[in-house]
């Protein structure tokens, strides 16, 4: 197996593939006002569908398209939708967020939880806006600085991993510059990282080390993810995911 294969194995069986929680998802959903109306929703970077199915439960008349570039995740999502009896309104598609082929002004809500960083916050705001109907909402969570003077260790890590990281104030300006009206935001709590994400991930990393003690690629993937966990535990006041809700002007 390749290092990428071991990386995916590190997330095997996990409901959430990044920091988050049911409580944070539902809090962010409250920004969107049309819960009882027929709406079209696009979930970008859906993973195995954990938050996709929360969207489906809170918006019973919604038609939801969920996309991810990793085929096994989409297969899992579609199988879960079939088992729940909602395949008629929840559709998983293998598709890259860099090359979405939907018609303009197709969706009332674009949702992206813990994934917009892949394309970049500013680029995602600008490029995805064309798929929103006028007055439509985009709600996403984005890694953000919580202070203007984070630790040197955090700065070095994120300048290497994601140079576009900004403060909340900077991201709110980016939202306005991209042609949206900010509808609210909030910081995800520490438990979204530690309890909901890092605790199950740590168990998987320990399992990988035990299963592949002589495989450099496996140990390398585990070490990379372990360094991310350890950094956050040392500097959790420096950064977090922040949910941003905005409407298209």
Domain parsing of the chain, residue ranges: 19-189+239-248
Which pLDDT does position 33 carry in this prediction? Answer: 85
Tell me the mean pLDDT in the region 165-184: 97
- How far is residue 171's CA from residue 168's CA, in Å, rounded to a whole number? 5
User: How many whole angstroms separate alpha carbon 137 and alpha carbon 197?
Assistant: 27
Q: Looking at residue 245, what is its pLDDT?
A: 98
Mean pLDDT confidence for 212-227: 92
pLDDT digits (tens, 9 = 90+) for 57-83: 999 999 999 999 999 999 999 999 999
The tokens for 143 are: 């890694």
Residue with tokens 């989409």: 74
Q: What average pLDDT does the segment 157-170 reach? A: 96
For 165, the token pair is: 């990281």
Say yes or no to pLDDT of 37 above 90. no
Where residue 243 falls among pLDDT bands split at 50, 70, 90?
A: very high
DSSP 8-state secondary structure symbol assigned to residue 120: -
- Round to whole Å and give the CA distance between 66 and 209: 33
Q: What is the mean pLDDT of the chain?
A: 95
Measured in residues, the chain has a length of 249
If pLDDT is split at 50, 70 and 90, which confidence band does 8 have? confident
Taking residues 233-243, report their average pLDDT.
98
Q: How far is CA 190 from the centre of its chain?
A: 16
The DSSP H or E segment spanning 218 is: helix 216-234
Confidence (pLDDT) at 31: 96
The CATH number of 19-189+239-248 is which of 3.40.50.720, 3.30.450.20, 3.40.50.150, 3.30.470.10?
3.40.50.150
Helix, strand, coil shares of the chain, percent, nearest 5, are: 45, 20, 30
Contact 108, 129 (CB under 8 A): no
36 has pLDDT over 80: no
Report residue 4's pLDDT band, with 50, 70 and 90 as the boundaries.
confident
User: Within 13 A of 191's CA, how many CA atoms are on the CB side?
Assistant: 4
According to the model, what pLDDT value does residue 73 have? 94
pLDDT digits (tens, 9 = 90+) for 89-143: 999 999 999 999 999 999 999 999 999 999 999 999 999 999 999 999 999 999 9
**CA 44/CA 24 separation, integer angstroms:** 17
- Copy the structure tokens of residue 34: 């049309």
User: What is the reported pLDDT for 15?
Assistant: 87
To 10 degrees, the CA torsion angle through 239, 242, 248, 249?
-70
Q: How confident is the model at residue 40 (pLDDT cuts 50, 70, 90)?
A: very high
For 97-118, give one letter per residue: b (16+ CB within 10 A) or e.
Answer: beebebeeebbbbbbbbbbbbb
Q: pLDDT tens across 200-213, in order?
A: 999 999 999 999 99
Task: Enumerate the β-bridge partners of residue 109.
Answer: 41, 137
Q: Which residues does 163 contact at the CB level (< 8 Å), separation at least 6?
A: none
């Amino acid at each position: 197996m390749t290092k990428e294969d071991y990386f995916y194995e590190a997330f095997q069986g996990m409901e959430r593939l990044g920091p988050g929680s049911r409580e944070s998802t539902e809090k962010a959903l409250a920004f969107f006002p049309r819960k009882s109306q027929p709406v079209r929703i696009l979930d970008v970077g859906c993973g195995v569908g954990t938050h996709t199915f929360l969207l489906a439960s809170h918006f019973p008349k919604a038609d939801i398209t969920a996309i991810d570039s990793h085929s096994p995740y989409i297969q899992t999502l579609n199988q879960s939708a079939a088992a729940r009896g909602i395949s008629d309104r929840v559709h998983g598609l293998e598709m890259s967020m860099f090359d979405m082929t939907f018609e303009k002004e197709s969706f009332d809500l674009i949702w992206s939880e813990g994934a917009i960083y892949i394309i970049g916050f500013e680029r995602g705001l600008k490029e995805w806006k064309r798929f929103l109907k006028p007055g439509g909402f985009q709600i996403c969570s984005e890694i953000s600085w919580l202070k203007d003077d984070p630790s040197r260790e955090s700065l070095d890590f994120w300048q290497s991993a994601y140079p576009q990281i900004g403060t909340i104030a900077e991201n709110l300006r980016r939202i306005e510059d991209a042609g949206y009206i900010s509808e609210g935001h909030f910081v995800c709590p520490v438990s979204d990282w530690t309890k909901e994400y890092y605790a199950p991930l740590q168990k998987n990393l320990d399992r990988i080390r035990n299963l592949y003690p002589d495989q450099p690629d496996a140990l390398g993937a585990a070490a990379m993810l372990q360094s991310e966990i350890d950094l956050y535990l040392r500097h959790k006041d420096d950064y977090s995911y922040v949910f941003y809700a905005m409407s298209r002007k």
